[in-house]
A and B are shown apart, each in its own frame.
Chain A
């Protein structure tokens, strides 16, 4: 366990992928395809695979989703495509994510180059943040012949794909490959440049026809009870350090307490276990029946041996001791741990950007993806809608379409 904590579970093989595709009922109206937030067409790519057209299947995925290989691994498919699969009425839904992974892996191993830049329009757009939303928007804009420069504060592109989601669920090599494919379309990617500090938003407005802000929710929300407590660390900070290879088993104590009941908390708890921490306790505010974490993640966390306690909220803390009370029944719990990691949500950090986001979110509505500044657009986790990779992809795609409509006029043609 300790040595291969990073290793991704093996994917489908040709035989098992074909067997899985053969389970697909090839439904007339393909509910799975309607259930994908990014409009990927699983029914179509599974059919292509089923009829031995793996390259055609890869085209279906890639032309719709610049992060198809990422989504294959991290999409909460149980909530999206797979939840709609009529095969579930017979036994269990088709493993759509796994098939998508098989196909995109084939795409890579066959060296396919599916995406092509469009004819130059003479327009140029700056994108702030190279997370999924920014990367997809860059792709869509390049496909329509718009020049794109991405400014990314960190040294590496990917957003939470690179600094959040653990290696065992999403190998960095996959993210790097997707990014390379996008850069290959002629995107000027500038890492290590924080907009609002190293360059101003006003400067970008002067230099580009439009600016798209996709800075994500990169700051951790705090728990008042844990403020200024030296035993604590934010989940995203911990996960970023693990991904950067800065955490080794010997750095970690014997007992770590994790607070939170979402996917991020599950990632932290599972990562700790995989790193060899003997005792990991996760306390969640939600009861299992209302859990936000995906079933797959929850199951993975359980399988890793994490002690999960649901329904408790923290009421006080003294250094390495946290006291929780059950939200509904009379029960109290005090846990002493060597380290406390909190995963209670993320928020946008807009320092130096001078953007007004109400509750960190812009409502999707008539002025889709517009901000109060006509030249500045926003997408990804900082606008309303689910905060998942596939939603970020869809929002990035739509925002790019909106920018094209604004800059080039005419219809938004996909």
Chain B
């Protein structure tokens, strides 16, 4: 097995590898976190701890799942709030974790309704031995509107609560952001102004995943009703990456330390977060579906990727893709690239034809006798929808041509792509 150093330093804390459980039931108690450490996770963000007097009262059932064509867990919806265990027990668990796993990183996630609560919780978790604090400003299904995602969209509250946490503790602190917002920049700047050292993103996306057609209620049904609540898993990865990109390309935030969260399942998901600027990574849904064991392939796969990239430090990869994502108006619109059909691979299903007819520009027609598509270059706009739907990857990027009247050398156009091999 390949061996590579996966360690990273984040907010002054050393992680043996960047993979952490994100705050959720996967890190609910000492015993679970200990098993996760044993399985190889570098850190855990313990399930969000609230003030002693906040009563958590959960519904049952509390999850739903979005499928597409038989694939389960495309997205996952949950209606959970914060830790159900009493404050004292959570603090005792944090202490024991740090004692028994001194080389692993223990992060306390906290949340309170008032400045005093935030300050007090920060003090308590530092006392319990946590290495870092994560402020949960982003749970979308709290029963109290003084806590959660509602707070996370309010820059003024965020700044005040960050400052409160900093009064309570000297620990490095990251603020966990909600994606239920148009732009994250004002809130992030407010958090930094309040004293946050870094940002964790994202928490779950407000959603209704499915509706029961007979009972006419969203799922899951809680005694005949349902509620809007947070979506996570693979489907939210693009949303998380978009916010990561927004932040790391904003003026003044280019070096913003970020812990990336949202739909991470494979080492390649993780690498995408790293390339867009995340230093550590957090996972919940994939662990709920598959267990702690997924960390084996997260780590091993990332090591192989480092080897391929010729880097010895993960930090060398952080943010390497940020600059190549630019505002739409800056893209090169002078050329198009036509599809190239490999007739040896084509099995004659006609899916490219259907998609081009009904979803693109009718450049592909169908030869009924030969059972294969016929290409009309004059109609093709080069969108490459056909290549994306082809089940046997018989369609690749072919001829590059400058649009009429445009300057440029087609030979120098960089169209190489993993999804659409040229």
Contacts and interface: CB of A to CB of B under 8 A. Distances in A.
Interface of A: 13-15, 22, 26, 47-48, 51-53, 55-56, 59, 63
Interface residues of B, number: 19
12 contacts: A15-B392, A22-B71, A47-B293, A51-B265, A51-B267, A51-B297, A51-B298, A53-B266, A55-B301, A56-B1, A56-B297, A59-B2
Interface of B: 1-2, 71, 265-268, 290, 293-294, 296-298, 300-301, 304, 391-393
Contact of B267 (A15, A52, A63): A52
A15 B345 CA distance: 13
A48 B300 contact: yes
B393 A53 contact: no
When A and B form their complex, which 7 residue pairs have the shortest distance between CB atoms, in order from nearest?
A53-B301, A56-B300, A51-B297, A53-B297, A55-B304, A52-B266, A51-B266
Contacts of A52: 266-268, 297, 301
A149 to B, nearest CB: 29
A52 B391 CA distance: 18
A55 B2 CA distance: 9
A53 B392 contact: no
Given A51-B294, A52-B301, A59 B268 contact: no
A15 B347 CA distance: 14
A56 B304 contact: yes
Nearest to A58: B304
Nearest to A53: B301
Contacts, number: 46
Contact of A48 (B2, B265, B268, B297): B297
Contact of A53 (B267, B290, B293): B267
B393 A15 contact: yes
A26 B290 contact: yes
B304 A53 contact: yes
Contacts of B71: 22
A51 B301 contact: yes
Contacts of A47: 293, 297
B417 to A, nearest CB: 15
B306 to A, nearest CB: 12
Given A26-B290, A51-B266, A51-B294, A56 B392 contact: no
Contacts of B290: 26
B205 to A, nearest CB: 23
B285 to A, nearest CB: 14
B263 to A, nearest CB: 13
Contact of A15 (B296, B298, B300, B391): B391
Nearest to B393: A15
Contacts of A13: 392-393
Chain B CB count within 10 A is highest, among A13, A14, A56, A63, for A56
Contacts of A55: 2, 300-301, 304
A5 B392 CA distance: 26
B393 A56 contact: no
Given A15-B393, A51-B294, A56-B304, 20 more contacts: A13-B392, A13-B393, A14-B393, A47-B293, A47-B297, A48-B300, A51-B267, A51-B297, A51-B298, A52-B297, A53-B301, A55-B2, A55-B304, A56-B1, A56-B296, A56-B297, A59-B1, A59-B2, A59-B300, A63-B1
Nearest to A47: B297
